[in-house]
Amino acid sequence: MKTLIDGAWVDRSAEVQSTDGSFIRKDTAFRNWITADGAPGPSGDGGFKAESGRYHLYVSYACPWAHRTLIFRELKGLEAHVSVSVVHPLMYEMGWELTDTYPGATGDPVLGKVAIYEIYLAADPKVTSRASVPVLWDKQQNTIVSNESSEIVRMLNSAFDGLTGNTADYYPVDLRLEIDAINDGIYNNVNNGVYKTGFAKSQEAYDRSVAALFAQLDTLEECLSGQRYLVGDRITEADWRLFPTLVRFDPVYVGHFKCNIRQLVDYPNLWAYTRELYQYPGIKETVNFDHIRSHYYGSHESVNPTRIVPAGPLIDFDEPHGREYIASE
């Protein structure tokens, strides 16, 4: 794996291993915020006003972190206001590549770059960072606003409301403490937990992460037995942060990352809940299983040396979910 060190694209792992073989994810490098009036957000610099056509998202259909941003772009009706480039699903020496030679990939009509790491260099020629997606690019200032998915979704959730008139709020003030607490457990044990399991370099690290992953899934299964969504009867950011991991679970994480104590389909409530979110208006169009399976099985040589992409499993995400009959107490 390569990374950017002081502007050089070098052979060095971007996510280092701890001494006990555990997988560690590095922090993101760009943490500015788009706001309604361009005032500074919780971190970074100001000057990023919500304006139609000014911003561009670089994403991968395969990446669950980038998937979050595509979901919020859809939920908030921003397709005409925030443009998108989709990378090639296979990631080799150049990292994420910007080419239109694979179905669904778009190339880069904004900067004409051939790889995501070049986007980072366009923002800062001396940058030290993983060349990850998503990347939120400002076409006016010619720089990266943010490459932190959790913060990008919050920008998309509210910054453009005055422009679009779409005031649907997936991070409402009265539920923020509860959402944040749920997000913390899900991030550590599920969203990042599948990676900690799949990239573990010791049996002890694997055993620890896979146990935490399935303990969290068991907790979520119980939670969803008595309420429709993670925070009662209102769909929130917490649901949309969990969904990208769940929709990838049986197609790739069970086999590729050895998250195989149980499959998602073995959890009646979680499986029905995942189908409901998949069937939510506009969401299935953000899911590309070809890119997902091709990327994971074809890119991670350390996990799958043959790079053979399996034919299955065949899963019907359009099966009726029945969750409309769940009433929260």
Q: Which of 102, 171, 187, 195 is catalytic?
A: 195
Which residue from 130, 75, 122 is spatially nearest to 241, judged by alpha carbons? 75
**63 classed as catalytic:** yes
Distance CA 26, CA 12 (A): 13
Amino acid at 168: A
Q: How far apart are the first and last CA of the chain?
A: 48
Q: Which of 55, 63, 273, 278 is catalytic?
A: 63
- In whole angstroms, how far apart are CA 262 and each of 72, 114, 194, 210? 29, 40, 13, 11
Q: What is the DSSP string of 87-105?
A: --S--BTTBSB--SSSTT-
SS3 168: coil
Which residue from 284, 304, 279 is spatially nearest to 294, judged by alpha carbons? 304
Distance CA 307, CA 197 (A): 19
By annotation, the residues acting in catalysis are 63, 195
